[in-house]
Chain A
Amino acid sequence: MDQSEIDALLKAAGTQPAPSTPGALAGHEVEGRVISEIDAVTAVTERETNKVMDQLDLISQLVNRQQTLITEVMKHSGAQDPAVQEAIHQILSAAKDIQDKVFGAMDLMQFQDITRQKLERIVFHLRQIHDYIVELLGTGLKSEGERASISRTIQNTGTTPDEKKADADAVVEEFLRSKNKG
């Protein structure tokens, strides 16, 4: 498939193809495109992460159902043999392990939000580079207004997320101690 076919496909899907000539867009258009592409990546990642979460939820529900059924089997008169009871206990223990692993996997999905904020930080730095170049060239073109809230946070605090990993607990304790003294 050549580029024109790819472009036609993208057009049919309602997506604008990228320009074939580098530099065909003005600086602010490039910046806008970068931001919208990063936004798209973020949106798709969030959507797909939620699909994974749906599957994990489903597994969790199935394991719960399995545990309920096995617990019922345990009470059955035909399952009172010690060897059978032991086997059932092992099955229940394995089910609990699966449940724990599912919860662990759900917790790991926090990566999506952290990655999203890292991408927003990249946008912030790109905007700064863009403004610097524009200022250097004296074109008077400034980047467009703040889009992502994180940019505002970065401007307000002068820091970016996880730039400095303070021990949050220690800071909270120190703050509360000094507050109590005062």
Chain B
Amino acid sequence: MKILIVDDSSTMRRIIINTLSRIGYSDVVEGDNGKSGLEKLAQGGIEMIITDWNMPEMDGLEFVQTVRTQNAAIPILMVTTNAAKEDIVQALQSGVNNYVVKPFTPETLKEKIESLLG
């Protein structure tokens, strides 16, 4: 299971990678904004996406909208500090399958990933 992690914070990417490795997912690819995320996705083999919202160049929402024009099936989990109800709804309407508000616990991330893959 290859997972694409898109976040402009290298610290956050490390934390997510570390959490994924603890729950059995060690095959990961990284992007630091939506644009680089699309480039990584185009290389193929990605089965799931975990993305932040607030990023330079191309934010997570635009990234998700672009991905959905090419791939309707790939599970997308948004992990962000944006916690307002209207933000969550906007993300879901854009094609996000589930949503985690930072800071998260490893248990929450595990639960969300498993529910998306289940």
Chain A residue with the shortest CB-CB distance to B81: A161
How many pairs of residues, A versus B, come closer than 8 Å at their CB atoms? Answer: 110
Which of the four size classes fits the interface of chain A?
35 or more
A36 to B89 CA separation, bound complex (whole angstroms): 34
Q: Please determine whether A164 and B88 come into contact, CB atoms closer than 8 angstroms.
A: no
Q: Please determine whether A168 and B12 come into contact, CB atoms closer than 8 angstroms.
A: no
B105 close to A (CB within 8 Å): yes
Of B8, B61, B102, the residue contacting A110 (CB under 8 A) is B102
Looking at the complex, which of A84-92, A131-139, A146-154 is the stretch in contact with chain B? Answer: A146-154
B2-14 contact mask (Cβ, 8 Å, vs A): 1 or 0: 0000011111101
Q: Please determine whether A172 and B98 come into contact, CB atoms closer than 8 angstroms.
A: yes
A144-182 contact mask (Cβ, 8 Å, vs B): 1 or 0: 000011101100010101111110100110011000000
Chain A residue with the shortest CB-CB distance to B55: A149
Which residues in B have some Cβ–Cβ distance to A below 8 Å? 7-12, 14-15, 18-19, 22, 53-57, 59, 61, 80-90, 92-93, 98-106
28 A-B interface contacts by CB (under 8 A): A46-B9, A46-B10, A49-B11, A50-B11, A103-B106, A106-B18, A107-B103, A107-B105, A107-B106, A109-B11, A110-B11, A112-B9, A113-B11, A114-B81, A117-B54, A120-B54, A149-B55, A149-B56, A157-B86, A157-B90, A159-B84, A162-B101, A163-B83, A163-B84, A164-B83, A164-B84, A165-B101, A166-B83
